[in-house]
Homo-oligomer: A and B are copies of this chain.
Amino acid sequence: MSSAFFKNNGPYTILEILNCLNIKIENEVSNRKINDIKDLFSSNENDITFFHSKKYKDIANKTKASFCITTDALRNDLPETCTPLIVDNVLFSTSKLTAKFYPDSINDDFDNSVTDIFKTEFADNVKYGKNVLIGKNISIGSNCLIGHNTIIEKNVSIGDNCSIGSNTIIRNSIIKNNVRILDNCVLGKHGFGFFPLKKGNLRYPHIGIVLIEDNCEIGCGSTIDRGSMSNTVIGKNTYLDNQIHIAHNVKIGDNSIIAGQVGIAGSSVIGNNVKIGGQAGISGHLKIGNNVEIAGGSGVIKDIPDNAKVMGYPAKNIRKFLKDNK
């Protein structure tokens, strides 16, 4: 992906990139310019990509990128047009290089570019409360409401007929039409992603956004983190209750209903028409099918196929769970 909101400080020359990655290659010192860092599928000729797991070998084999951060064990799965840059830890090096391209995507210090809304172009079009602050690169559609003390930090697009509550903070997010975001939420901050290092953890960049589709509702006190290399997405007409946490890169489908205090860990993908009971938790990197029902309090630690009803920790077929726990 290219980042919707974060400024790309590139292009960089291959020489600069090799320096960033602490790689010394005798024959490959060049002034060739690289525009961006992207995934294997999205990369073009003037991009650099990364390849860290055998399970992506089919995509790796077709990448158009001219350079790829990878390991010695994986280099042979790349096409001849792609020069491998061999490192010890692909994700760590990718993170370092992404940070070089997108330095603003690492930390979420408060946005000091904000202005009181009554001094902005939105003063006449938006119905707003007291002490509302608006950052740079904001668009707001017609017939929108923004409650008291709410901060729309930089890089936010809000559609028509949206109602934002009070004491809420939004940044780096696209919110479509007829969306209701209630009080005390935080949307669009970076995810909980970093490399643990005893001298001080190294945060990895979050160049993705939060995308909330039409007709959604987000309950009070909820947090939705933006994506790292992809986006965090809430599908059309999906409703979230209070105190829900949606981690980075999670994708939730349409018409889903998620009750209070649910947590969904990073990069999990939830289908359409899914119902999740209160306090249920879903581990990271899982795939939950369409029409799935997850009982309240369940802990889901593996993929769930379409139409399944599950309960328990670890979550299993609801009938089996209830029978086993009579």
Interface positions of A (Cβ within 8 A of B): 107-110, 112, 114, 116, 127, 129-131, 133, 145-149, 151, 163-167, 169, 178, 180, 182-184, 186, 189, 192, 194, 196, 198-201, 215, 217, 219-221, 223, 225, 237, 239, 241-243, 245, 247, 254-255, 257, 259-261, 263, 265, 277-279, 281, 283, 295-297, 299, 301, 312-314, 316, 322, 325
Q: How far, in whole Å, are A194 and B243 apart by their CA atoms in the complex?
A: 18
* A166–B279 touching, CB < 8 Å: no
Q: Write out the residue numbers on chain B whose beta carbons fall within 8 Å of the beta carbon of A325.
A: 314, 316
Q: Write out the residue numbers on chain B whose beta carbons fall within 8 Å of the beta carbon of A217.
A: 201
Q: How far, in whole Å, are A116 and B279 apart by their CA atoms in the complex?
A: 37
* A148–B221 touching, CB < 8 Å: no
Q: How far is the CB of A159 from chain B (nearest CB, A)?
A: 14
- With CB as the reference atom, state the residue of chain B lying closest to A220: B186
* A237–B297 touching, CB < 8 Å: no
A145-B296 contact given A223-B243, A242-B192, CB 8 Å threshold: no
- With CB as the reference atom, state the residue of chain B lying closest to A166: B110
Q: How far, in whole Å, are A278 and B133 apart by their CA atoms in the complex?
A: 32
> Quick one: which of B109, B112, B192, B277 contacts A259, CB cutoff 8 A?
B192
Q: Write out the residue numbers on chain B whose beta carbons fall within 8 Å of the beta carbon of A261.
A: 245, 261, 263, 281
* A108–B201 touching, CB < 8 Å: no
A183-B169 contact given A145-B109, A192-B242, CB 8 Å threshold: yes
Q: How far, in whole Å, are A114 and B281 apart by their CA atoms in the complex?
A: 38
Q: Write out the residue numbers on chain B whose beta carbons fall within 8 Å of the beta carbon of A107.
A: 163, 180
A281-B296 contact given A167-B169, A182-B108, CB 8 Å threshold: yes
Q: How far is the CB of A170 from chain B (nearest CB, A)?
A: 11
* B192–A237 touching, CB < 8 Å: no
Q: Write out the residue numbers on chain B whose beta carbons fall within 8 Å of the beta carbon of A200.
A: 178, 215, 237
A279-B263 contact given A109-B145, A129-B114, A215-B200, CB 8 Å threshold: yes
- With CB as the reference atom, state the residue of chain B lying closest to A239: B201
7 contacts across the A-B interface (CB closer than 8 A)? A109-B147, A192-B259, A198-B237, A261-B263, A263-B278, A295-B301, A313-B313
* A196–B257 touching, CB < 8 Å: yes
Q: Write out the residue numbers on chain B whose beta carbons fall within 8 Å of the beta carbon of A223.
A: 219-221, 242-243, 260
Q: Write out the residue numbers on chain B whose beta carbons fall within 8 Å of the beta carbon of A127.
A: 112
Q: How far, in whole Å, are A220 and B247 apart by their CA atoms in the complex?
A: 12
